[in-house]
Amino acid sequence: MAVYSEKVMDHFSNPRNVGEIESPDGVGTVGNPVCGDLMSFYIKVEGDRSADVKFKTFGCGAAIAVSSMVSEMAIGKTLDEAMKITNKDVADELGGLPSQKMHCSNLGAEALHAAIENYRERQSEKPSQEHVACPLCDEEMKELCPSCTGCGADLAVCPECGEVVEKYAQACAYCHASLESAKG
As a CATH number, domain 6-124 is 3.90.1010.10
Q: How confident is the model at residue 147 (pLDDT cuts 50, 70, 90)?
A: confident
> Which amino acids are annotated catalytic?
35, 104
What digits encode the pLDDT tens for the residues 6-61?
A: 999 999 999 999 999 999 999 999 988 777 889 999 999 999 999 999 999 998 88
* C-alpha span between 74 and 83 (Å, rounded): 9
CB atoms near residue 143 (< 10 Å): 8
DSSP 26-55: EEEEEE-TTT--EEEEEEEEETTEEEEEEE
Buried b (16+ CB within 10 A) or exposed e, 55-72: bebebbbbbbbbbbbbbe
Residue 59 sits at the vertex; the CA angle it makes with 57 and 65, to the nearest 5 degrees, is: 70
Higher pLDDT pick, 47 / 167: 47
Q: What is the pLDDT of residue 76?
A: 96
> Distance of CA 1 to CAs 4, 82, 88, 130, 150, Å?
10, 32, 22, 61, 66
Give residue limits of the domains in the chain: 6-124, 127-184
Q: Tell me the average pLDDT of the chain.
A: 85
Q: What is the mean pLDDT of residues 119-124?
A: 89
pTM for this predicted structure: 0.67
Q: Please list the alpha-helical segments (H only) found in 48-147.
A: 61-74, 79-83, 87-93, 102-125
Neighbours of 28 (CB within 10 A): 21
Judge whether residue 1 has pLDDT over 50. no
